[in-house]
Amino acid sequence: MSESILHQLLKKSKETKELLSVWQYNAEKGSLVGYVVDFNDEFIVFNQFTKFGKPDGKVILNLSSVKTIDYNDDYTKVMECLIQYSDVIDKPLETNIPIEFIDQWQFETLKHLITMKDQIASFEINGGDFYTGFVKKLSTEDFVLQCIGKNGEDEGSALYRIEDISEIRMDDMDDKRRLLLYKWRNAII
């Protein structure tokens, strides 16, 4: 009888360091992403990476706990990019935006962000969800955000009222990850 497809996939990952996204039964955190270091009929030893492309140690998995394995898909390609450019995420961006403690702090910050073509920011709206992207248009009442998804996807534009901004985040790890992946998807890096 021929070797199972699972064993072929694990062997290829071990030999070539091809990234796999391993989903386990009853796992609440999502998948583990990495490559196989070793395996047998019962266990897999797996080098895993964080969502920022940083090495995150080894995991020993019981093969019977594996629900499914994704490979050669968009997310594993995203992770390949993040692993290759993970040092970029660590570097602080040059954001020289003056922080002004005035009533119109949102507008003043937006005025600076609209001039910065290589800077994304995350905006908390009404103390709820965060929306991330590039500031494209600005008036004294509202602004247009070119929204960028968590894996660098261009999610189109959205209009928000300035008075609804409850928090602005710039240069955090998630934003730098999104910006890196946005540039990768648009062949800017």
Tokens matching residue 178:
């999104």
Report CA-CA distances (Å) from 109 to 56, 170, 187.
36, 10, 29
Q: Does the pLDDT at position 44 exceed 90?
A: yes
Angle at 93 between CA 91 and CA 98, to 5 degrees: 145
Nearest alpha carbon to residue 133 among 147, 118, 144:
147
Domains within the chain, CATH numbers bracketed: 5-87 (2.30.30.100), 95-185 (2.30.30.100)
What is the DSSP annotation of 138-186?
E-SSEEEEEEE-TTS-EEEEEEEEGGGEEEEEES-HHHHHHHHHHHHHT
Count of C-beta atoms within a 10 Å radius of residue 54: 13
Confidence band, pLDDT 50/70/90 cuts, at residue 72: very high
Q: Is 81 strand, coil or helix?
A: helix
pLDDT, tens digit, for every residue of 96-147?
A: 666 766 778 899 999 989 988 888 999 999 988 999 999 999 999 999 999 9
Predicted pLDDT at 157? 97
User: What is the pLDDT of the chain when averaged over all its residues?
Assistant: 91
